[in-house]
Amino acid sequence: DGGITQSPKYLFRKEGQNVTLSCEQNLNHDAMYWYRQDPGQGLRLIYYSQIVNDFQKGDIAEGYSVSREKKESFPLTVTSAQKNPTAFYLCASSTLLGKYQETQYFGPGTRLLVL
């Protein structure tokens, strides 16, 4: 059953704590993305990766870190430097047609709450 999965569904962070959100895909997609969505708003790009062992900052990368050690996995760490982490986090993956962006497939999301 192909798709993109995220875990956990809900995550609670204590002040000063780093937390890691998981994103896995078995679609054999080269590109993977992390977005942040605040209530009633659109998606903002945090980081993206087009190839293993390489990634680029998006529009709001401060306070976040990523790794891409395997094609299937793109975990996001929300560090203690991110002062307002409460949001809905969405992971996506896609194929790339040269420099063109094709359809993105999204995971179900992780809701991060601060205790």
Partner 1 sequence: SQQGEEDPQALSIQEGENATMNCSYKTSINNLQWYRQNSGRGLVHLILIRSNEREKHSGRLRVTLDTSKKSSSLLITASRAADTASYFCATDPFRTSGSRLTFGEGTQLTVNP
Binding positions for partner 1, rule: CB under 8 A? 31, 33, 35, 40-45, 48, 50, 56, 58, 88, 90, 92, 96, 99-109, 111
Nearer to partner 1, 17 or 102 (CB): 102
Smallest separation (angstroms) from partner 1 to the CB of 24: 14
Q: Kindly provide the b/e burial profile for residues 54-71, where b requires at least 16 CB atoms within 10 angstroms of the residue's own CB.
A: ebeebeebeebbbebeeb
SS (H, E, C) the chain: CCCEEEECCEEEECCCCCEEEEEEECCCCCEEEEEEECCCCCEEEEEEEEECCEEEECCCCCCEEECCCECCECCEEECCCCCCCCEEEEEEEECEECCEECCCEECCCEEEEEC
Smallest separation (angstroms) from partner 1 to the CB of 80: 27
Smallest separation (angstroms) from partner 1 to the CB of 82: 20
Nearer to partner 1, 75 or 80 (CB): 75
Smallest separation (angstroms) from partner 1 to the CB of 102: 7
